[in-house]
């Protein structure tokens, strides 16, 4: 019985190590100069992602356009939450004022609400990320202030899966640049 227990514990430890997954975080939001839009209050809805981009497995684009979800390569947070929080931080840096994820915590409604609908957000380690969709800005009265389609091709920001998640972060920052410019009344770069 002792021999069996002595062999079972190392085998169990080995099997647990073989099944270990890697979890990846988005890098912190890159610092940038504010767009100086005045005191804006903006509520940001959860980003609407395609099913493959919302999976906990990091989605990659393979040969022939096949989307691959690797069960050993995972987001450390849900992609929707991570990308939404990254967008909020990027907009806060660019706009100042009150930029928060929904639900809006204050009694008075925000001046603007933002909804982002992603049609495509896919790449692979060491290749460009394709990020496309639409953003909609709505005033507190319910009027649509802006509804614009976007598409960015983000070059690799680094090697491997950390680089791929840095590509995701950079794509969201490019979108934040465009939205902040729109709110500030400047042409998008």
State the pLDDT at residue 39. Answer: 74
- Of 185 and 145, the structure prediction assigns the larger pLDDT to 145
Beta pairing class for 129-139 and 144-154:
antiparallel
| Number of structural domains found in the chain | 1
Instruction: Give the integer Cα–Cα distance in Å for 121 and 144.
Output: 25
Instruction: State percent of the chain over pLDDT 90.
Output: 75
What is residue 26's three-state secondary structure?
coil
In a domain, residue 137? The reply is yes
In a domain, residue 7? The reply is no
State the pLDDT at residue 189. Answer: 59
- The end-to-end CA distance of the chain, in Å, is 71
CB of 152 within 8 A of CB of 179?
no
Q: Apex CA 41: angle with CA 36 and CA 44, to 5°?
A: 105
pLDDT in tens, 10-50: 544 443 445 689 999 999 987 766 656 567 899 999 999 99
- Predicted TM-score (pTM) above 0.95: no
CB of 126 within 8 A of CB of 163?
yes
- Domain with residue 155: its CATH number is 3.40.50.10610
In a domain, residue 15? The reply is no
Domain membership of residue 141 as a residue range: 22-184
In a domain, residue 29? The reply is yes
In a domain, residue 4? The reply is no
In a domain, residue 143? The reply is yes
In a domain, residue 62? The reply is yes
What stretches of the chain adopt beta strand conformation (E)? 22-24, 41-44, 57-61, 67-75, 98-101, 112-122, 129-139, 144-154
In a domain, residue 85? The reply is yes
């Amino acid at each position: 019985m002792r021999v069996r227990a002595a062999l079972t514990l190392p085998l169990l430890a080995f099997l647990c190590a073989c099944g270990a997954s890697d979890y990846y975080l988005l890098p912190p939001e890159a610092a940038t100069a504010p767009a100086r839009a005045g005191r804006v209050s903006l509520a940001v809805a959860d980003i609407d992602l395609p099913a493959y981009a919302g999976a906990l497995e990091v989605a990659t684009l393979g040969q022939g356009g096949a989307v691959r979800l690797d069960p050993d390569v995972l987001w450390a947070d849900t992609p929707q939450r991570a990308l939404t929080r990254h967008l909020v931080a990027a907009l806060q840096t660019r706009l100042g004022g009150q930029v928060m994820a929904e639900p809006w915590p204050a009694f008075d409604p925000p001046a603007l609400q933002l909804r982002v609908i992603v049609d495509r957000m896919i790449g692979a380690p060491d290749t460009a990320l394709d990020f496309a969709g639409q953003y909609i800005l709505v005033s507190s009265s319910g009027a649509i202030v802006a509804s614009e389609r976007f598409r960015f091709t983000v070059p690799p920001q680094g090697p491997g899966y950390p680089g791929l998640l840095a590509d995701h972060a950079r794509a969201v920052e490019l979108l934040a640049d465009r939205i902040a410019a729109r709110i500030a009344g400047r042409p998008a770069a």
